[in-house]
Every structure is written in C-alpha cells, then in structure tokens.
C-alpha cells in the first residue's frame, strides 16, 4: 500500500512538471491561431483582439503571473470568482461587470511556446486596453519555440 501511494505521488509530481501549452480554445489560443493564419512572411502584421472573442466587452485587463488576488480585485473593481496563483490572466469587463476571464499557463522561469506577450512593464503587473485595441505582432524565437509580442497601435 505504501508503495502504491509513493508511485501515485511520484506520477502526480512528474505530471505537474510537464510542458505547459496554450489552450487552443481560450482567447490566447485563438489569438495564436489568428496570428499563424494571417501573419505570415516578413511584413508587419496587425490584429484586433475583438476578432477572436465571441462575447461583449468594453475593456480587457492582462495580468502577469505575479499579480495577487487582492491586486486584481482592486484594479478591475470586483473580486474574481476564481483565482489561480502563478498564472497569467486575461479579464474582460463589460459595463463594469465580468464578461469573461481566463488563467493562462505560465512557466515562471521562461516563456512558453506560442505565448502572447502584451508588453507589461517590469515594474507593473498588468496592462489595460479599451474596447477595440489594434496590435502590431512581432514573432520572436527563443530556446523553447516562439512567442508573439503584441504592441498597441495608437
């Protein structure tokens, strides 16, 4: 019995150390799919966040994995129904109420393959974007694959 418990714990530990991936059904995953489909070649590519959302929203907050539950609640104006520690968050708000939120996978040591990077400054833990942000996409390579920097177009 003791051996079975040790094996189960070992498998659980190994699974938690597995490779993080972007969920293709989340907004971030749909952004990646949109970029891969529409941003090919060396030209500058622009995308709209609204093109990959299927719900109403007028503001989106993008949080780094370091943002605390209290900090997020203070910024968005309400507590989240669920808080996942050490995960990047995208919180969409419509008329001051939660429209949609998702917690993105994170590797605290490095970016993960296909990660979207919104350019959160080092001394901050979030960025806020209005109703219809347009972003310029820059595809970057790194040791684990690629990531996509999104820069807000004024």
Give the least confident one: 11-15, 23-27, 70-74, 132-136.
11-15
pLDDT above 70 for 2: no
pLDDT above 90 for 21: no
- Phi, psi torsion values for 142, nearest 5 degrees: -150, 180
74 in Cβ contact with 91 (< 8 Å)? no
pLDDT above 70 for 14: no
What is the residue extent of each domain of the chain?
21-152
CA distances from 103 to 10, 28, 139 (A): 26, 10, 22
Average pLDDT over residues 27-40: 93
pLDDT above 70 for 71: yes
């Amino acid at each position: 019995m003791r051996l079975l418990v040790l094996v189960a714990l070992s498998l659980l530990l190994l699974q938690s150390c597995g490779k993080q991936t972007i969920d293709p059904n989340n907004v971030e995953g749909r952004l990646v799919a949109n970029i891969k489909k529409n941003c090919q070649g060396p030209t500058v590519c622009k995308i709209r966040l609204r093109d990959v959302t299927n719900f109403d929203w007028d503001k989106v907050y993008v949080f780094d994995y370091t943002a605390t539950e209290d900090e997020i609640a203070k910024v968005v104006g309400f507590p989240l129904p669920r808080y996942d520690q050490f995960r990047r968050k995208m919180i969409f708000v419509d008329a001051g109420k939660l429209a949609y939120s998702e917690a993105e996978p994170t590797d605290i040591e490095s970016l993960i393959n296909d990660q979207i990077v919104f350019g959160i400054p080092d001394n901050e833990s979030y960025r806020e974007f209005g109703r219809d942000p347009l972003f310029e996409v820059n595809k970057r390579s790194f040791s684990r694959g690629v990531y996509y920097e999104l820069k807000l177009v004024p």
